[in-house]
Structure 1
Amino acid sequence: MDPADLADVLSSVREFIRSEVVPLEEQIDEQNEIPASLVEQCKAMGLYGFTIPEEYGGLGLTTAEEVQLVFELGYTTPALRSLFGTNNGIAGHVLLEGATDDQKKAWLPRLASGEVTASFGLTEADAGSDPSTLTTTARRDGSDWVINGSKRYITNAPVADVIMVFARTNPDAPGNRGISTFLVPADTPGLSIGPKDHKMGQFGAWTADVYLDDVRVPADAVIGGEDGIDKGFLTAAKCLAHGRVHIAALCVGMANRLVEESVAFAQTRQAGGKPIATFQLVQGLIADSVTDYYAGRALVLETARAFDAGTDKVAGPSAAKYFCSEMVGRVADRAVQVHGGAGYMRGVAVERFYRDARLFRIYEGTSQIQQVIIARHALGKAARG
């Protein structure tokens, strides 16, 4: 995108976040729902398709451009970004990374406009960071496939129009092999959605279980067609790598907000007749959070640059996601500490962000999975004995 156009997009999103979304954060948290007016504004601004190429109706942002936009989105409740996060991220990238031309033409424009919301159906009760234990199956029946199984904690499942379902198509293949991805419309007979999960935080971002009971789909539902059979894990890995850069940027945006909240409180809260900002121990908390924020931001920008260049699509995204998700947890904890008792009260932004931040160390690969990926990339064969 032309730098001037990108600047306009970032400026518009920044204004939208601060003037329209921030004032509604408490309402979103209490009601567990994003107001319809905000949803429509997000569609009109192109936020449902900022990573989708322009030829399919999206903004076509590079990863380096995307993370700058996500910095802005991270300033407010992560529930807003979750509305369109799956379209731009792990679900939409299933199509971008593995779909046939016909599949892309049929679905990507609808994802980009917000007409369709897509979900990423990989996680199961006993298969999350390690999909080798995935038990959902798909068997051939004539020219069709019949899918059976269940998925857990699927983002946007309650409102999804289509779900990218990962299923084992070759039961004899070891480990992560023998898995394929299926494009399954949510109204397909046999597919049902469980009740919304009641989570610790991130209210307004809906997740739920997905059940597949003899779900019959045609042969062209396989992502990538016949060439895509048994290649689902490779597609998932590519999608998750991009998603990790995205989540890292989101954590940086949230850290920025938490630093601002901490600074503003320290400047105005009085203790002993003077602002607590004059106390060096409080200054130390602020300094550590500012430093964490700067480090995370620089890491994400460099990781995004390398991702676009194709020079690092494995260790860099894992390192960024690992550091930034842990970093924002530290910044949130310090923000509560700076606020003292007020930081533990509902209705105070840092209390809500403290709850919201905890999830980032878990989804799209736990911190421990990122450690394994980073270490194996550095150590090579020696890491595997």
Structure 2
Amino acid sequence: MIRINAIPLIASRTFLPRLPRTVRQYTSYNVAVAGLTESQEEFRNVVHDFAQKEIAPRAEEIDKTNHLPEDIFPKLGEMGLLGVTVPEKWGGLGLGYLEHTIAMEELSRASASIALSYGAHSNLMVNQLNRWGTDDQKSEYLPKLLSGEHIGSLAMSEPNAGSDVVSMRTKAELKGGKWILNGSKCWITNAPVSSTFLIYAKSDTSVAPSKGMTAFLVERGFKGFEVGEKLDKFGMRGSPTAELFFDNVEIPEENVLGQVGKGASVLMSGLDLERLVLSGGPLGIMQAALNLTLDYTHERKQFGKKIGTFQLIQGKLADVYTKLSASRSYVYAVARACDAGKVSRQDCAGAILYSSDRAVEVAMEAQQCLGGNGYINDYPAGRLLRDSRLYTVGAGTQEIRRMLIGRGFNELATAEDIRAYNDATINGGVRGLFYGIGLSLPTHYILNSRVTAYRNLPSPAKAFGFVMLIVPCMTITAEKSGEAFTRSQYEGVAKRELDKEAQIEHERWQSLSSVQKLGDWARRHKYGLVGASWVGSLGVAWALVNRNKHQTTSQKVVQARMWAQGLTVGLLMASALLTGFDSSKTEDPRTPHEDHTWRAILESDPHLNEEERKRLHEIKRAVVDRKEQLVKEASNSVSK
């Protein structure tokens, strides 16, 4: 075996185990910077350990053989990772898109191609079925998709309808109670191994392309349905891809996903979340590239030193780390927004646009740091670079993502809006003309009759002064009219957004049980309840202690305060328990730990910002300190 400075070429067998530090010591997450909660960090560690044990050792073989191992998906199913966003009632984990993105990142860190197939299955297929499927459809398809017994695919792209997806030619016609599907699809991830497909087709060619599309659930065994040969790709070789062909495929009516003719809504809403979740892929590739580069540069020696001590190499490492950290922060922030119901098409596109470009740059830097070793397939640098290129063309090209972001800035400026704006400014200018004439005529009459100097001016000079009064009136009125129109447009958009939030809040309220509604009401009026509880408890406590004839008034006051404090805290704890508080996680509320009691009570309240949470923590701390002080005063009174 050829060696370069005693560094073996086969990194996976002899090079990596001799490193002075572990990968996790080099690349541990800063939880405070990543912004993950304790449960999210625990979830990431579980996925990481699974991926490094079950997938990472086979990544090189998977790439060389261009084969997806059959045991991977059942193992992912056992972990529950195939249904991260699916509610627990259907067999999923019931988590959010941030956790889904984290899973995508950690699997990509081990093998980007396995993660791509995972993302196509868990997000493009399973998540869409969960969001749009009927209970019967979920009952029929989700169990096997979540267990990994069946693999799913989404079929959207066609030979002549890639970025311009609404121009697809695959058609579905309703005949005799069944939909007849004809056409073809290409670039379908998981197609060679999938059992269930989500197919988009034109169901009505008489309307606009975006309004005549329908989504269908199609099984591999349907007559007339064929899968083409597996494609030999440049990268992502462990993620099988093929074409699909439909020749009079009969689909039952109950297999329509969503509504007939509303497939565009299913498709477009899914694309935003697809871009977000797949953004975890570039993050994992960058993390793997950073791991590889750090390991190599802290072992490889030149000029008697490890090359990681050279400033040029350190600069490259700094760039790689910064690009990864910036990408991760952006992607995680967008995922949190989506979990809060704020799905932004611009930011979902921006997350994968930015992270995928950075992943290519980071992979190239890793290859450069490895020098000649980075150019041979005994090291994973080449595989990381090849895999990273998929994200610049897959799930929408970089150009389409830039178009979506740019177009988002002009959503208000439609042709109709521009015409309305022009009409508003023209009308304002006409009004200004009449205002100017109305102001100029009296002014001219007064000056001409009372000011001799004005009366002696030549007529052109008087006409010029006449015009100079009219023009500013026209200009000012036109500008004000345009501003008023623009303001009304933004106010309309804001009102629609507020109405949408109000509708979401109303639906959330309707879905709560009576106890949850009571708890929600209590959280909204927490300050008033604390005050009322204190006053009421103080009154009850005073009535009780006042019966004791052997105590002084000051002792009664102290004891009443203590009882009132205890009753108030008890009421708050009872309210917290009714609303889902886990008493097994209680800690001293004055400790700076993230999961202390008071913060745990309020953790699930979506109506509190960070400032309010800190304020409530201060209140709780003051309450506890005051209670201890009262106990000491009572003890001193008794001893005296």
TM range (shorter): over 0.9
Give the CA deviation at 1:75.
0.8
Matched, 1:277 2:308: yes
Q: Look up the equivalent residue of 2:114 and give its one-letter code.
A: L
Q: Residue 250 of structure 1 is aligned with which of 281, 294, 300?
A: 281
Distance 1:357 1:139, change over 3 A: same
Matched, 1:74 2:103: no
Give the Cα separation in 2 of the matches to 1:96 and 1:235.
11
Larger Rg: 2
Match of 2:550 in 1: none
Residues 162-184 of structure 1: CA deviation (Å, up to 9, x unaligned): 11111101112223221101111
Residues 68-119 of structure 1: CA deviation (Å, up to 9, x unaligned): 2222212111222234322311112331232222212222222111122111
* Greater alpha carbon shift after TM alignment, 342-351 vs 291-300: 342-351
Matched, 1:98 2:132: yes
Give the Cα separation in 2 of the matches to 1:153 and 1:44.
28
CA contact (8 A) 2:116 2:281 kept: no
CA contact (8 A) 2:84 2:99 kept: no
CA contact (8 A) 1:83 1:205 kept: yes
Q: Residue 374 of structure 2 is aligned with which of 343, 354, 367?
A: 343
* Greater alpha carbon shift after TM alignment, 287-296 vs 8-17: 8-17
Give the Cα separation in 2 of the matches to 1:163 and 1:380.
33
- For the residue of structure 2 that corresponds to 1:74, the secondary structure is helix
Matched, 1:181 2:212: no
Give the CA deviation at 1:132.
1.9
Matched, 1:315 2:341: no
Match of 2:182 in 1: 148
Matched, 1:135 2:169: yes
Give the Cα separation in 2 of the matches to 1:167 and 1:123.
10
Give the CA deviation at 1:381.
4.0
CA contact (8 A) 2:73 2:148 kept: no
1:14-93, aligned counterparts within 5 Å?
Answer: 14-93=48-127
Name structure 1 gaps, 5 residues minimum: none
Give the Cα separation in 1 of the matches to 2:278 and 2:315.
27
CA contact (8 A) 1:197 1:207 kept: yes
Residues 13-45 of structure 1: CA deviation (Å, up to 9, x unaligned): 211222332221111111122333444322221
CA contact (8 A) 1:97 1:239 kept: no
CA contact (8 A) 1:79 1:203 kept: yes
Distance 1:313 1:55, change over 3 A: farther
Give the Cα separation in 2 of the matches to 1:154 and 1:383.
35
CA contact (8 A) 1:376 1:383 kept: no
Q: Residue 268 of structure 1 is aligned with which of 294, 299, 303?
A: 299
Q: Which has the higher contact order (CA 8 A, sep 6+)?
A: 1
**How many residue pairs get matched?**
381
Q: Look up the equivalent residue of 2:240 and give its one-letter code.
A: W
Name structure 2 gaps, 5 residues minimum: 1-36, 419-640
- For the residue of structure 2 that corresponds to 1:295, the secondary structure is helix
Matched, 1:113 2:147: yes
Matched, 1:287 2:318: yes
Give the CA deviation at 1:340.
1.1
- For the residue of structure 2 that corresponds to 1:129, the secondary structure is coil
1:357-372, aligned counterparts within 5 Å?
Answer: 357-372=388-403
Give the Cα separation in 2 of the matches to 1:357 and 1:158.
22
Q: Residue 169 of structure 1 is aligned with which of 191, 198, 203?
A: 203
Q: Look up the equivalent residue of 1:271 and give its one-letter code.
A: Q
Residues 188-237 of structure 1: CA deviation (Å, up to 9, x unaligned): 0000000101000111110100000010112112112xxx1111111111
The structure with the greater share of residues assigned to strand is 1
Give the Cα separation in 2 of the matches to 1:20 and 1:103.
32
Residues 354-376 of structure 1: CA deviation (Å, up to 9, x unaligned): 11110011111111111111111
Match of 1:302 in 2: 333
Match of 2:405 in 1: 374
- For the residue of structure 2 that corresponds to 1:256, the secondary structure is helix
Give the Cα separation in 1 of the matches to 2:147 and 2:40.
19
Give the Cα separation in 1 of the matches to 2:366 and 2:133.
44
The structure with the greater share of residues assigned to helix is 2
Q: Look up the equivalent residue of 2:356 and give its one-letter code.
A: S
Matched, 1:210 2:244: yes
Q: Look up the equivalent residue of 1:316 and give its one-letter code.
A: D
Give the Cα separation in 2 of the matches to 1:277 and 1:325.
26
Give the CA deviation at 1:383.
7.7
Q: Percent identity of the aligned residues?
A: 32
